[in-house]
Amino acid sequence: MTINSAVNKLSGKRKGERPKVLLIQPPIHDFALYDHYLKPYGLLRLASFFTQSDWDVEFLDCLDYREPESVDMLNSPRRKADGSGKFFRTPVENPLKDKPIPRRFARYGILPSVMERRIAAAVPDLVLVTSGMTYWYRGVAEAVRRVRKSYPHIPVAVGGIYASLMPDHCENVCGADAAIIGDALVASGGRMAVSEPFASFLRKSGLPVPILGSEERLLDTGRPTISPLLLPRVWDSAGIIRMNRGCPFNCDYCASRRISEGFHPGDGRDAFESMMAIHHYSGTRNFAFYDDALLYKKGELFHPFLRMVIAAQLDFNFYTPNAVHLKYLDGETADLMVRAGFREIRLGYESASEEFHRKRDGKFDPASFPGKIETLREAGFSPVDIRVYILAGLPGQRWEDVEKSVRFAKKTGVSISLSEYSPVPGSPMWEESCRASVFPLKDEPLYHNNTFFPMEWEGFTREALEKIKRLTRSKTS
């Protein structure tokens, strides 16, 4: 079916008029939220695809921290030069009132009245809402509810992480017409196309399935670059780069496999060009990587990218909020990263225990840790700019193990972030987590939030967690 013949079927459209999609990054309801390069990357890829396929596209960013009316009412959130910062915050009632948590629950995002006005003005034929953490579903539900208020009969689909991990919950509780699992865009015969579940939803809704325009783009890495002409404002503070998709590991505590099966290599030149396009149109010099396995096969993938950046003499700042694999780190990579402009490096260390890694992830030999840190220091990373993630609160984990890991890492002088465990549906450890938790994790995703410390037990109490947090912050080892 061509777009034009299908467009004629759209209600209220004049012949030849293009269909319109409204893409929504919903607000977030949580106990705390910091913008650590939190961008609606997947939704913006969709925006780019729909634009290239001749649809009209409108984007509603409910996390836009510069929205003027919200600034007037809620004051400007504090932002940092590195592109991170706060969002608008409005305290709201804790939906789980019977579970006292020493933190206020809040809604992060633009004013609801602005959101509703923007939705009402859009007049779309289709609404697409993205989703992040499973425990952020209330923001998704809010977006769907406000869309329904203006358009009771327009098709609404939700995609992204929560929709992929809990599709039934998403359809039943958020009221979406469909939760689309996984990538909405897939490589097909060297080109990009809409996935079958998404295409089937569009057909059922009487909408045309978008296809790329006539200038047939061959997409070597199987993904379109994010159209920089569209929505440059989103990228003003920082751009996102994702060179490769997926991860070769299958750690017990992670759902990467469920989100994208296996490792799909990208291409250094394509990543470089996407980045330059974002810089050209938005002016940003901050870039964060969303890769799950940035250093895997680095000689073929990451190194060429870094060499292009160095040759172009760009004064850019690079960040790895999602951490990189210690296993694949070596002197050459560290040296290239420093020369390219990496301001900090975050590492997936998780634990100092050999047994932990043997049992839970197999991704790293902790005996090599001091040597890896030395390599980074020799390359020019200062210890405060080396940050290691240590996992805390896995089912059955004892607090002493975590304390030992923190003390061991501290000896090297690096910065430490406690990564408090969030049980993830679809991860190998999910069923074990459900059995170990006093909370009904399967019924209520809010309990996946690590603020609830869902795996608390007598071997690891909240008091012990607080003690370790203090140790992490203290100057002594």
**Contact residues: ligand B12, CB under 6 A:** 33, 36-38, 41-43, 45-46, 128-130, 132-135, 157-161, 180, 183-185, 198, 254-256, 259, 290, 292, 321-322, 419-420, 422, 424, 427, 448, 450
**249 binds ligand SF4 per the rule CB under 6 A:** yes
Of residues 53, 56, 59, 57, the one with CA closest to residue 17: 56
Partner whose binding site includes residue 125, from ligand B12, ligand SF4, none (CB under 5 to 8 Å by kind): none
Strands 191-194 and 185-188: antiparallel
Name the minimum Å distance from CB 256 to ligand B12. Answer: 5
249 binds, among ligand B12, ligand SF4, none (CB under 5 to 8 A by kind): ligand SF4
Contact by Cβ (8 Å): 397, 455:
yes
Taking CB under 6 A as the binding criterion, the range among 243-251, 336-344, 387-395, 433-441 that sits at the site for ligand SF4 is 243-251
**Dihedrals φ, ψ of 57, to 5°?**
-125, 130
Q: Which is nearer to ligand B12, 42 or 208 (CB)?
A: 42
Query: At its nearest, how many Å lie between ligand B12 and the CB of residue 333?
Result: 20
125, 154 in Cβ contact below 8 A? yes
Q: Which does 250 bind (CB under 5 to 8 A by kind): ligand SF4, ligand B12, none?
A: ligand SF4
Nearer to ligand SF4 (CB atom), residue 267 or residue 361: 361
133 binds, among ligand SF4, ligand B12, none (CB under 5 to 8 A by kind): ligand B12
Nearer Cβ to ligand SF4, position 256 or 286?
A: 256
Give the β-pairing of 239-241 and 89-91: unpaired
Contact between 363 and ligand SF4 (CB under 6 A)? Answer: yes
Q: How far is the CB of 163 from ligand B12 (least distance, A)?
A: 7
Q: At what angle do helices 331-340 and 369-379 cross, to 10 degrees?
A: 40
Q: How far apart are CA 447 and CA 94, in angstroms?
A: 12
Least distance in angstroms from the C-beta of 249 to ligand SF4: 4
Residue pair 11/61 in contact (Cβ under 8 Å)? The answer is: no
Write down the least CB distance from residue 348 to ligand SF4, Å. Answer: 6
Cα distances (Å, whole numbers) of residue 449 to 62, 66, 337, 400: 21, 27, 33, 23
Residue whose C-alpha is closest to residue 80's, from 237, 236, 186: 237
Phi, psi dihedral angles at 59 (to 5 degrees): -120, 130
* Binding status of residue 292 toward ligand SF4 by CB under 6 A: yes
> Considering only residues 247, 334, 394, 465, which one is a binding residue for ligand SF4 as defined by CB under 6 A?
247
CB-nearer residue toward ligand B12: 164 or 282: 164
Please identify, using beta-carbon distances, which residue of 249 and 281 lies nearer to ligand B12.
249
- Nearer to ligand B12 (CB atom), residue 194 or residue 337: 194
φ, ψ (nearest 5 deg) of residue 135 = -80, 5
Instruction: Estimate to the nearest angstrom the gap between the alpha carbon of 199 and the chain centroid.
Output: 24
The count of residues interacting with ligand SF4 (CB under 6 A) is: 11
- Which CB, 35 or 361, lies closer to ligand SF4? 361
CB of 310 to ligand B12, least distance (A): 25
Closer residue to ligand SF4 (CB): 224 or 266: 266
Distance from C-alpha of 337 to C-alpha of 341, rounded to nearest angstrom: 6
Residue 151: other Cβ atoms inside 10 A:
18
Residue count of the chain, please give it: 477
Tokens matching residue 33: 């939220």
If 0-12 CB within 10 Å is exposed, 13-18 middle and 19+ buried, where does residue 7 land?
A: buried
Q: Which is nearer to ligand SF4, 30 or 292 (CB)?
A: 292
Q: Counting contacts by CB under 6 A, is residue 361 touching ligand SF4?
A: yes
Q: Which residue has the tokens 């203090």?
A: 470
CB proximity list for 392: less than 8 A, separation 6 or greater: 402, 418, 419, 420, 421, 460, 465, 468
Residues 324-353, mask of contacts with ligand SF4 (x by CB under 6 A): ------------------------x-----
Out of 38, 251, 288, 301, point to the residue binding ligand SF4 (CB under 6 A): 251
Assess contact for 159 and 131: CB atoms under 8 A: yes
Question: Closest CB to ligand SF4 among 47 and 345?
Answer: 345
Q: In 312-448, which ranges are continuous DSSP H helix? A: 331-340, 354-360, 369-379, 399-410, 430-436
> Given the complex with ligand B12, which of 110 and 133 has the nearer CB atom?
133
Q: Which stretch binds ligand SF4 (CB under 6 A): 5-13, 175-183, 249-257, 380-388?
A: 249-257
Handedness of CA 448, 452, 457, 461 (dihedral sign): positive
Report the nearest approach of ligand B12 to the CB of residue 157 (Å): 4
**SS3 call for 397:** coil
Establish if 256 lies at the interface with ligand SF4 (CB under 6 A). Answer: yes
Token readout for 24 is 């929504």
- Binding residues for ligand SF4, rule: CB under 6 A, are 247, 249-251, 254, 256, 292-293, 348, 361, 363
